[in-house]
């Protein structure tokens, strides 16, 4: 009897699942360094919802500062384990690993339609096991869910390339694509730009205005319902976190172009803005002059995703925060798809079996070297020392501050989740709309003092010189804060950003940090 061979797609999925689970099931001191403080905004809020405190991070302020689909995914975990935060966290991360693995499997199916199973396996394994993608999708944020839904949407769009005319004329085809787009929007709201790009692509490909309307309609309806619920419950139609990070376009055209090219900022500082702009223009001309087959391999097959990523990049570049890795899920997926098409083109051009074998060996060697470097950087035991020290700070809060006291912090996720205390988020990302209004008026200290916040604390870079006792994070807080406690740390941030530190506007680096605590006191009236 001959044994049936296991399909290669399941080998790919099992390999990525094994690696993902190996990461999320690591001992907690290692794992905590690879999660984001913002992910605990989700976890703490979901736990409070399960405990009956409503949509609150601090059990005081009603908040909508999160993307809805991921929150709906994790609330049931906290309903089942409301008083076991570590167990709930582990279950959520296993769920994240499963989502990531299914997304890689779907990516394999997309690529194998045009490039064959071997190349599809190589690229999907490269995407699913890439340390940068793993750091993005396994960080506790909405990234893995977003990647999963986006992978299904990409698969639907790829199937349209060779769909028969009857399928293209069916309203069900376009309604299904629209429903997947709506799920993407609910997974991450700025995916509405991807929906707009998809609708434009449908019109350009002459599938009809009615098809574009069916693409847009589910997302439009989902957003209208979502905004109506937000307005009724929170007094604002969109997440308050969006107001904190809202885009600010520079007044001058030249400044706007310079900000759009922020990844090239170090080069601009060294050679000047005009030479950099001319180099960018030359690169664009070179791309336009590429041979037709090469341009088609890069742009044509996934043109809608190129347009969507261009819109997203523009939006992110003008936002107040644009380095968070979970913003770039569509970009990584697009990179994998383009890499597959380019590799397929290169293999087709190499007719000699020796050349093809040599090309494959060189590519495999390059990937292994790159993977080793990235894995060493991204999964280093000294990665994100400040996160580990924040966990120590949460334990200090639990043991040193009076039970029942309310604190406030700018980076409040880990502190709230592990300290067992109510902690008000002071940067406004997971706070209420009234708090945002108070921030806008410069009255945030008075607002939280009125809510009973008695301590303010956070981790800050230590001033390079001078008296740290006089340090305050914001001048508006000066009259309210009395120094209470301070501890210094030497932190080491190992990672890709330390290797390419000059490429980031605010590079991570080895630095001295301090855990600073103040007592909140109302200012004396004159």
Tell me the pLDDT tens digit for each residue of 475-487: 889 899 999 998 8
Higher pLDDT, 374 or 95: 95
Separation CA 199–CA 190 (nearest Å):
15
- Where a domain ends, among 97, 129, 162? 162
H or E element: which one contains 490?
Answer: strand 481-491
Residue 474 lies in a domain: yes
How many domains does the chain fold into? 3
The single residue listed with the structure tokens 């997302």 is 219
> Taking 60 as the threshold, does the pLDDT of residue 501 lie above it?
no
Are residues 158 and 172 both part of a single domain?
no
Are residues 174 and 117 both part of a single domain?
no
Q: Is the dihedral of CA 392, 397, 398, 400 positive or negative?
A: positive
Are residues 153 and 168 both part of a single domain?
no
Query: In this predicted model, what pLDDT tens digit does every residue of 318-329 receive, in sequence order?
Result: 887 666 788 999
- Where a domain ends, among 186, 220, 237? 237
- Where a domain ends, among 212, 237, 262? 237
Q: What pLDDT score was predicted for residue 365?
A: 64
Are residues 413 and 492 both part of a single domain?
yes
Residue 219 lies in a domain: yes
Are residues 461 and 491 both part of a single domain?
yes
Residue 378 lies in a domain: no
Q: What pLDDT score was predicted for residue 181?
A: 96
Are residues 181 and 105 both part of a single domain?
no
Separation CA 20–CA 27 (nearest Å):
14
Of the pLDDT bands very low, low, confident and very high (cuts 50, 70, 90), residue 525 is low
Are residues 217 and 124 both part of a single domain?
no
In the beta sheet, which residues pair with residue 409? 425
Of the pLDDT bands very low, low, confident and very high (cuts 50, 70, 90), residue 504 is very low
Residue 247 contacts residue 313 (beta carbons within 8 Å): no
H or E element: which one contains 459?
Answer: strand 453-461
Residue 347 lies in a domain: no
* Mean pLDDT in residue range 298-312: 88
Higher pLDDT, 365 or 162: 162
> Cα torsion at 365, 366, 367, 373 (round to 10°)?
110
Q: What is the DSSP letter of 289?
A: T
Structural domain range at position 407: 385-520
pTM: 0.90
* Mean pLDDT in residue range 368-393: 66
Residue 280 lies in a domain: no
Higher pLDDT, 500 or 168: 168
Separation CA 476–CA 479 (nearest Å):
7
Are residues 24 and 96 both part of a single domain?
yes
> Taking 80 as the threshold, does the pLDDT of residue 2 lie above it?
no
Are residues 71 and 199 both part of a single domain?
no
Higher pLDDT, 455 or 473: 455
Are residues 473 and 417 both part of a single domain?
yes
Residue 390 lies in a domain: yes
In sequence order, which ranges of 379-488 are alpha helices (DSSP H)? Answer: 385-400, 413-419, 433-440, 444-450
Query: In this predicted model, what pLDDT tens digit does every residue of 110-131 receive, in sequence order?
Result: 999 888 888 899 899 989 988 8
Residue 29 lies in a domain: yes
Of the pLDDT bands very low, low, confident and very high (cuts 50, 70, 90), residue 80 is very high
Helix (H, G, I), strand (E, B) or coil at 514: strand
Are residues 144 and 51 both part of a single domain?
yes
Q: What pLDDT score was predicted for residue 375?
A: 58
Q: What pLDDT score was predicted for residue 164?
A: 82
Query: Maximum CA pair distance of the chain?
Result: 94
Residue 368 lies in a domain: no
Are residues 424 and 455 both part of a single domain?
yes
Q: What pLDDT score was predicted for residue 508?
A: 44
């Amino acid at each position: 009897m001959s044994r049936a061979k296991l399909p290669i797609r399941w080998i790919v999925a099992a390999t990525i699942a094994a690696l993902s689970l190996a990461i999320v099931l690591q001992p907690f001191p290692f794992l905590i360094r690879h999660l984001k403080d913002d992910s605990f905004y989700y976890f703490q809020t979901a736990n409070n919802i399960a405990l009956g405190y409503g949509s609150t991070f601090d059990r005081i302020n009603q908040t909508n500062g999160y993307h809805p689909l991921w929150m709906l995914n994790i609330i049931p975990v906290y309903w089942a384990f409301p008083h076991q935060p570590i167990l709930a966290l582990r279950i959520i991360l296993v769920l994240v690993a499963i989502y990531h693995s299914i997304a890689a499997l779907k990516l394999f199916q997309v690529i194998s339609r045009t490039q064959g199973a071997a190349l599809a396996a190589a690229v999907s394994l490269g995407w699913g096991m890439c340390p940068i993608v793993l750091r993005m999708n396994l960080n506790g944020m909405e990234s893995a869910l977003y990647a999963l839904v986006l992978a299904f949407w990409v698969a639907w769009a790829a199937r349209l390339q060779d769909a028969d005319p009857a399928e293209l004329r069916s309203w069900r085809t376009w309604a299904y694509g629209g429903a997947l787009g709506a799920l993407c929007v609910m997974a991450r709201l700025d995916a509405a730009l991807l929906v707009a790009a998809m609708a434009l692509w449908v019109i350009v490909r002459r599938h009809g205005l009615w098809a574009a309307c069916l693409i847009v309609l589910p997302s439009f309806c989902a957003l209208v319902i979502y905004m109506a619920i937000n307005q009724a419950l929170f007094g604002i139609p969109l997440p308050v976190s969006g107001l904190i990070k809202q885009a600010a376009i520079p007044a001058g055209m030249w400044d706007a172009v310079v900000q759009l090219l922020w990844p090239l900022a170090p080069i601009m500082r060294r050679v000047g803005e005009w030479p950099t702009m001319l180099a960018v223009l030359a690169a664009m001309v070179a791309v336009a002059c590429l041979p037709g087959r090469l341009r088609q391999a890069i742009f044509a097959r996934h043109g809608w995703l190129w347009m969507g990523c261009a819109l997203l990049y523009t939006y992110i570049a003008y936002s107040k925060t644009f380095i968070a890795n979970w913003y770039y899920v569509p970009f990584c997926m697009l990179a994998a798809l383009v890499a597959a098409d380019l590799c397929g083109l290169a293999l087709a051009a190499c007719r000699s079996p020796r050349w093809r074998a040599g090309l494959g060996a060189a590519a495999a060697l390059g990937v292994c070297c790159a993977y080793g470097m990235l894995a060493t950087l991204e999964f280093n035991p000294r990665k994100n020392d400040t996160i580990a020290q924040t966990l120590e700070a949460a334990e200090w809060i639990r043991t040193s501050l009076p039970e029942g006291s309310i604190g406030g912090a700018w980076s409040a996720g880990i502190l709230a989740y592990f300290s067992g205390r109510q902690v008000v988020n002071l940067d406004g990302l997971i706070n209420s709309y009234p708090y945002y209004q108070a921030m806008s008026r410069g009255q945030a200290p008075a607002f939280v003092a009125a809510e009973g916040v008695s301590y303010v604390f956070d981790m800050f870079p230590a001033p390079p010189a001078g008296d740290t006792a006089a340090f305050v994070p914001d001048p508006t807080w000066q009259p309210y804060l009395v120094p209470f406690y301070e501890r210094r740390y030497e932190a080491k941030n190992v990672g890709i950003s330390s290797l390419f530190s000059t490429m980031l506007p605010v590079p991570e680096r080895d630095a001295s940090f301090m855990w600073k605590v103040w007592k909140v006191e109302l200012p004396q009236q004159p």
